[in-house]
Amino acid sequence: MARPSYQTKADKPKNVKRDPVAAGERDAAQNRAASHNYFLLEKYEAGLMLRGTEVKSIRAGQIQLKDAYAIVKDGEAWLLNAHIGQYEHGNIFNHEPLRTRKLLLRRDEIRKLIGKTQQKGLTLIPTRVYFRNGRAKCEVAVARGKQAWDKRETERRRTADKEAREAIARSRKA
């Protein structure tokens, strides 16, 4: 006796696409002010030690890195002033928005960061937060602060590059 063949719906894919932030295709947060206010010298990828409601808030895009910075204290790296909004469906187990969070780095990376941050004028600035393989990651940069004239010079260079690109595009159209 032959078995009847059943057709599955071809129009519906098996793997339904996840949220781009949760899938790691898009950053959860970027610190745009960092590249304006600092020269970013070296970048490191660090894991974030978070609570459950913090992860859900980051996936919802409720994180702000504008005033955030990182320090290395007692052989551990810490993220300060990163604002993660409270999870809207969280109950009494919700988190504090501005609590200090631990950054997860390898021991040799922490040793390098200790040496760098002890130099005058260098600091640790978080540049972006994203997900990789379901884990929240924070990109931390060793940065040197810009003076006002550095910022003006960067802006001049950026507008000159933009005008050059526009002129090339106009010449190609003509």
Please indicate, yes or no, if residue 170 is contained in any of the structural domains.
no
The whole-number pLDDT of residue 155 equals 87
Domain count, the chain: 1
DSSP symbols for 19-81: PHHHHTSS-SEE-HHHHHHEEEEEEEEEEE---HHHHHHHHTT-EE-TT-EEEEETTEEEEES
What confidence score (pLDDT) does residue 45 get?
A: 92
Ranges of the chain whose pLDDT falls below 70: 1-18, 22-25
pLDDT at 133: 85
171 in any annotated domain: no
Is there a domain that residue 73 lies in? yes
pLDDT at site 88: 81
Residue 155 covered by a domain: no
Q: 122: domain CATH number?
A: 2.40.280.10
pLDDT given at position 85: 87
Q: What is the pLDDT of residue 139?
A: 92
Work out the burial of residue 77: count CB atoms within 10 Å of its CB; fewer than 13 is exposed, 13-18 middle, 19 or more buried. buried
- The pLDDT score that the predictor gives to residue 1 is 60
Q: Coil, strand, or helix at residue 102?
A: strand
pLDDT value at position 28? 80
Distance between CA atoms of 105 and 79, rounded to whole angstroms? 12
pTM value surpassing 0.75 = no
103 lies in some domain = yes
Q: Which residues contact 171 (CB under 8 A, 6 or more apart)?
A: none
- The answer to whether residue 3 is domain-embedded is no
The pLDDT score that the predictor gives to residue 16 is: 58
Per the domain annotation, does 75 fall within a domain? yes
* Per-residue model confidence (pLDDT) at position 5: 62
Instruction: Name residue, tokens 């980051």.
Output: 58
Q: Is 150 helix (H, G, I), strand (E, B) or coil?
A: helix
Q: What is the three-class DSSP state of 165?
A: helix
Domain of 140? 20-146
Please report whether residue 166 resides in a domain: no
Are 97 and 83 in contact, with CB atoms under 8 Å apart?
yes
